[in-house]
Chains A and B, each alone.
Chain A
Amino acid sequence: MTMTEPSASRLEVSGKPPFYRDVTVVKWLVQLATLFTLIFITWFLAREAGDNLRAKGLTSGFEFLGQPAGFNVSEGIDTEPATGGRALWVGMVTTFRLAISGILAATILGILVGLARLSNNWIVNRVGSVFVETIRNIPLIVQIVLLFAVFGSLSRVELDSGPINGWLHVTNKGVSMPRVFIADGFYQWLVFMLIGLVVARFVRKNRIAAQEATGEPSYSGLATLGVLLLFAIVGWFIHPVFGFIGGPLQAISDGIANIPQVAVQVALTALAFFAAALWVKRFRDSRRTPAGMAALTDDDWFRQIFAFVGAAAAAAFLWLVWPGFSDWIVNSSSDLFRVLADKFGDNPEFLDADGVARDRDGAPFGWARPDIVQPGNFANYGDQGLTMSQGFAAVFFGIVFYTAAFIAEIVRGGILAVAKGQSEAAAALGLSRAQALRKVILPQAFRVALPPLGNQYLNLTKNTSLAVAVGLSEVVQIGQTVISQSGKSLSVFVIWMSFYLCCSLTISVIVNFFNVRMKIVER
């Protein structure tokens, strides 16, 4: 390998290479080509879909949201929805109910089972692991269908039946139990409580400062609780003083309703471009050094361009794709304030479903027991007890058990991950077992467990869609009905996707919030 004649293999290359050999050019060409191929394929498929739909006499579009629904819903906040949009909203609320109650119940059950699996007691441990292994290895859909069948085989609703007659009924029509509900005076009372919260925060800070100053215990927790309690009790009796808030809220609502669509469009577009410009400015600032601007790579340029492409996409959406969006925002926020306004004061125009004007001076809360109107049926909704229908109960218990089994493993894993070194360290410091668990292990275990826990909450929310298997009218089932009524399959699919993506996003944001908080606490 002796090289005596190096110039033999030399290439005389200078200047720019031809574009097809330039790495940067090729890199972006390939990416852009892929992007445009994908856009082209999507366009092609969409064109085919449009032609095919027209040929079958079907159209896509969202008009059905405002048109009469033409069907009843078996259960939900409104069993006779006026419009298609309202029907879907009823389904969404049922999904929310399932998801929120399911998340709470699954978390509690999951923690209990997880602790059971950590127990030194052999039988507790075994029962826990049999529960987890069984539940995890059977498809959720099968469990839900089975639970539905089991509920269906229970005894009829009778006037004198139920495990605890008049309080708890478990029957083939589902489960019914007492409930506490929000009554007419609630919102005025809520204003009281908000003020109470602000005051309580102030008191708490004050007390903690006092403790740090003097070193003596100042019972900050107790004081905070006392303030809140005081506001709750006083508010219960004198909340009608806030009845006047209805007026200003109504004024806000009217004010919003008068905003023209174009103004919103212009404002939002400006906002999008302003955000993009701000981002780019920040980015460039971060690359500026005392010695001058740093060299920017092609990726850096892409980011800056992409910021503006994003803003342009937002503008295109606002002006071209869905011009009505701005209108929709205006209307719905105006509606929101109007509904809030109606919750305050004695507004004779705002009547209950039964045509009774609400009593704003009444208590904030009420409660009710299961009510059986006739053998075979519970009274549904209204001021009666909390009734889960057969389908709701099957889905609820199905997703709760299923998610709890996974949460139990997460909890166990989190505690095991921390417990080894930490409990010894804690014991060395002289903390008791309970103190060690509360102050050292659980907070850290929670930190380890939070991200996968958030994942399980996402899964639970998505799994509520399995309710369609037992005919419970949540958003997918109602969407199906809409499809069979109007044939708007594409539009309904878009609504489903947006709905679930919003739910996922919300949960991610909440979980992230806690995640970030906990990281700060740790530092």
Chain B
Amino acid sequence: MTANMSASGMELGRADMIVSDGVDKWYGDFQALKGVTAQVAEREVVVVLGPSGSGKSTWIRCINRLEVHQGGTIAVDGVELTNDTRNIDKIRSDVGMVFQQFNLFPHLTVMDNITLAPRWVRKQPKAEAETKAMELLERVGIPEQAAKFPGQLSGGQQQRVAIARSLAMEPRIMLFDEPTSALDPEMISEVLEVMKDLARGGMTMMVVTHEMGFAREVADRIIFMESGEIVEVGTPEHFFTNPTEDRTKLFLSQIL
């Protein structure tokens, strides 16, 4: 087991949940990821920062195999992400993902959105899945919306449903790809509250976001990427107060 522990994992005294080792990804002749190496420990919250087009989305989508990486290895909870369907299924069911555009299913009610996967993938009986779904809706604060269609909800509510939908599969890791970027300012905080709550509950999380406040408050570590490479890794304190790399400084000066 010790072999699987990275520096960060050992510091925290926990095992690594996500190991990304030299991951390469090509789009045609464009290399979007260039040997990305990093680890995320159990119950750790990692925020990924970087300018647009730097490969943040590509990286976390590779972890869920929404994109197929072409070089290096990705292992989630000790399971290596290979062509093996069994591994893919295992990782998909261990990893939940929340998208920038929510991607709720518009033709299904909120309840059906949440129970669909537990019923058909986890093979839970309908009643059980619905009880669970109601619990989750209460947890994200919108139990009264269960019978509505996604089109009838506000953006913040939709994103909270999307989070509930992922949680219904009881994932051990949650990936967030700019979950608040498509929201109006007044709805951002309600989604961030839910995420903070999750982090407090001990969920392992990888979050791509431009919410610096969230990063500072919740993140255990911050990973900074640029043009497909990891430039700098560190605690929020280190990152925001005295970054070592020039590129990081430039980025921070632009957004802060």
Contact = CB atoms under 8 A, between A and B. Distances in A.
B52 interface: no
Interface of A: 1-3, 6-7, 9-14, 16-17, 21-26, 286-289, 291, 294-295, 297
A6 B85 contact: no
B79 interface: yes
A289 B28 CA distance: 10
Contact of B71 (A17, A25, A26, A295): A295
18 contacts: A1-B203, A3-B202, A10-B77, A13-B82, A13-B86, A16-B82, A17-B82, A17-B87, A22-B84, A23-B88, A24-B83, A286-B28, A287-B28, A289-B29, A289-B31, A291-B31, A294-B29, A295-B26
Given A13-B80, A13-B87, A25-B83, 14 more contacts: A1-B170, A1-B202, A3-B42, A6-B78, A9-B77, A10-B78, A21-B86, A23-B85, A24-B83, A289-B30, A291-B31, A295-B24, A295-B71, A297-B68
B1 interface: yes
Most chain B beta-carbon neighbours within 10 Å: one of A6, A7, A286, A297: A6
B143 to A, nearest CB: 19
Contact of A1 (B15, B24, B71, B201): B201
Contacts of A294: 26, 28-31
Contacts, number: 73
Q: For the complex of A and B, list the 9 residue pairs with the smallest distance between their C-beta atoms, beginning with the closest.
A: A17-B84, A10-B78, A295-B70, A22-B83, A294-B26, A21-B85, A23-B83, A294-B29, A295-B26
B83 A7 contact: no
B31 A6 contact: no
B92 interface: no
A17 B29 CA distance: 28
B42 A6 contact: yes
Contact of B29 (A21, A22, A286, A297): A286
Contacts of B77: 6, 9-10
B90 A17 contact: no
A320 to B, nearest CB: 37
A477 B133 CA distance: 66
B29 A287 contact: yes
Contacts of A16: 82
Given A286-B28, A294-B29, A294-B31, A7 B15 contact: yes
Interface bracket on B: 20 to 34
A441 to B, nearest CB: 36
A130 B93 CA distance: 60
Contacts of A287: 28-29
Contacts of B165: none
B17 interface: yes
A449 B199 CA distance: 56
B172 interface: yes
A21 B82 CA distance: 10
A377 B28 CA distance: 70
Interface string B186-218: 000000000000000111000000000000000
Contacts of A17: 82-87
Contacts of A286: 28-29
Interface in B138-195: 170, 172
B135 to A, nearest CB: 12
A58 to B, nearest CB: 51
A57 B234 CA distance: 85
B214 to A, nearest CB: 22
Contacts of A22: 83-85
Nearest to A12: B78
Given A9-B77, A294-B26, A3 B71 contact: no
B172 A3 contact: yes
Given A9-B77, A297-B70, A288 B84 contact: no
Contacts of A13: 79-80, 82, 84, 86-87
Interface string B26-70: 101111000000000010000000000000000000000000101
A10 B79 contact: yes
Nearest to A25: B83
A288 B29 CA distance: 6
B80 A14 contact: yes
A262 to B, nearest CB: 42
